[in-house]
Copies of this chain bind each other. A is one copy, B any other.
Amino acid sequence: MQENHEDLTLNIPDTGKKRVVIIGGGFGGLNLLKHLKTGIYQVVMLDRYNYHTFQPLLYQVATAGLEPDSVAGPLRKMIRKKDDFHFRMLTVHRIDPAQQLIHTVAGELKYDFLVLASGSKINYFGNEDISGHGFPLKQVTHALDLRSKIFQQFEKLEILEEHDGLQRYFNFVVVGAGSTGVELCGALAKLRNHVLPSDYPELSFDRMKIYLVEGLERVLPAMSDHASRKAHHYLEKMGVKIILNTLTESYDGETVTLNNGNKIRTNTLIWAAGVKGNIIEGLKPESLHKGRIQVDRFNRVYRDQEQKYPGFFAIGDVAIMETEKYTGGLPGLAPVAIQQGVHLARNLKRIHRQKNLKPFRYRNKGVMATIGRNRAVADLPGGLKLGGFAGWVIWMTLHLLYLVGFRNKAVVFTNWIWNYFTYDRGIRLIIRPPGKDKDLISREIASEVGDPYT
């Protein structure tokens, strides 16, 4: 499709300055943008969406704790005070790093410096049926979809008469016990314990089961043993059924088949089991490593073992950078992306002043996960490990600090206070686009029930 536009040029004014193109307005791209001094370069940011998504809180949108609007920040607002900064909402189809050219749906664009900050995308590891029936949780729209799906299950249960097939409406399966999976299970358990029983008094919530399926031998495998054990304990106390050392083989929308032969009936499978670099077409296999773009300590992308591409950088989740301490590559975490964005901004200034680049050094700020009310686990720098209420307060504070914009901080904080004291979730609207998820159900046979879309 983009081939029609090979001869068109994307409409960006030529101001005579060298042009930095940033692809992606996530943690990496946004922090690079913030720290690039005005006046040195022309800066162009491209994104498919017009907002930055605060992914760590999407699970709270999905479980009706936060409005979608408060975990997203309009990208233009962050750009508007800078001079010669330009935002364009569009998709980039292909990059041509040898020619220093990118190809977008609206024409091509030359760059002096390109920063690929396109993040990660869901990795289904080739499981077509899971990608067709399971719910991902990477975008605001995913969170809205999942929220609607969860509440629709119970609306339908109040309509259907008792029969053997009903348990799959009550079952929720989360695949992957990283922080997304663990936090989502905690939030689902909170919904079951505090919100749903009063909303649906005719249903018995003893029947609602939350399964967490993990391929490795413990939950939060990227965290310390201490954090993992604590999280495991918290989850079990909240009634989450944890299945370890088990892979998910298939899912047809009704039944999950595990690699130990067991089956779980469920209408709702959430896939939190893996991501891969959101790589854009045009890179040679030599530039890639473990499904990400291999970069050196200056975030530069190499054409081959020897030669780097001119002015081409990658930061955050789309990149993999090996260091002395992280020989397998830095983890795919927001702090890595943020720090690389800030660092690259400084290196771009060094390039302008014709100084030597400085290598990136990752400062580990700690890793955390929250599991329901008053409970979180944290591995802090210096080997400090925190759990329970203290961990939970730190988790909330850090997430508020990193949220984009004062308005969002205020709204999220107010919501958390509200939810804490009322045990309520204000935001359980089922808003779904027409034609989506028109499950066909009835009491004994499939037939349409409860169509809220027309």
A106/B426 contact (C-beta < 8 A), A67-B69, A431-B68, A450-B89 known: no
Contact with B along A42-61 (1 / 0, CB 8 A): 00000011110000000000
Copies of this chain present in the complex amount to 2
Q: Does A216 contact B (CB under 8 A)?
A: no
Interface window among A122-130, A196-204, A255-263, A342-350: A196-204
The 10 listed contacts between A and B (C-beta, < 8 Å) are: A8-B442, A74-B428, A74-B429, A77-B199, A88-B450, A89-B158, A90-B451, A105-B447, A140-B429, A407-B424
The 3 closest A-B pairs by CB, nearest first: A433-B433, A89-B155, A90-B450
Contact with B along A77-88 (1 / 0, CB 8 A): 100100000111
Bound-state CA distance A454–B202 (Å) is 39
Tell me the count of chain A residues lying within 8 A, CB to CB, of chain B: 69
Instruction: Give the residues in chain B near A411, CB-CB below 8 Å.
Output: 411, 414
* Selected contact of A199 from candidates B11, B72, B80, B448, CB within 8 Å: B80
Bound-state CA distance A196–B28 (Å) is 26
Q: Does A393 contact B (CB under 8 A)?
A: no
Bound-state CA distance A427–B451 (Å) is 28
**Is the beta-carbon distance between A68 and B429 smaller than 8 angstroms?**
yes
Bound-state CA distance A200–B11 (Å) is 14
* Selected contact of A105 from candidates B140, B161, B436, B450, CB within 8 Å: B450
Contact with B along A426-454 (1 / 0, CB 8 A): 11111101101000001100011111101
Q: Does A91 contact B (CB under 8 A)?
A: yes
Q: Does A241 contact B (CB under 8 A)?
A: no
Contact with B along A198-236 (1 / 0, CB 8 A): 111110000000000000000000000000000000000
* Selected contact of A90 from candidates B70, B91, B159, B410, CB within 8 Å: B159
**Is the beta-carbon distance between B431 and A106 smaller than 8 angstroms?**
no
Instruction: Give the residues in chain B near A86, CB-CB below 8 Å.
Output: 158, 202
Apart from A87-B158, A91-B452, 10 more pairs, CB < 8 Å: A4-B447, A11-B161, A48-B454, A51-B430, A68-B429, A69-B427, A76-B428, A80-B198, A80-B199, A91-B451
Bound-state CA distance A433–B432 (Å) is 8
Q: Does A144 contact B (CB under 8 A)?
A: yes
**Is the beta-carbon distance between B448 and A105 smaller than 8 angstroms?**
yes
Q: Does A395 contact B (CB under 8 A)?
A: no
Q: Does A405 contact B (CB under 8 A)?
A: yes
Bound-state CA distance A397–B282 (Å) is 57
**Is the beta-carbon distance between A407 and B431 smaller than 8 angstroms?**
no
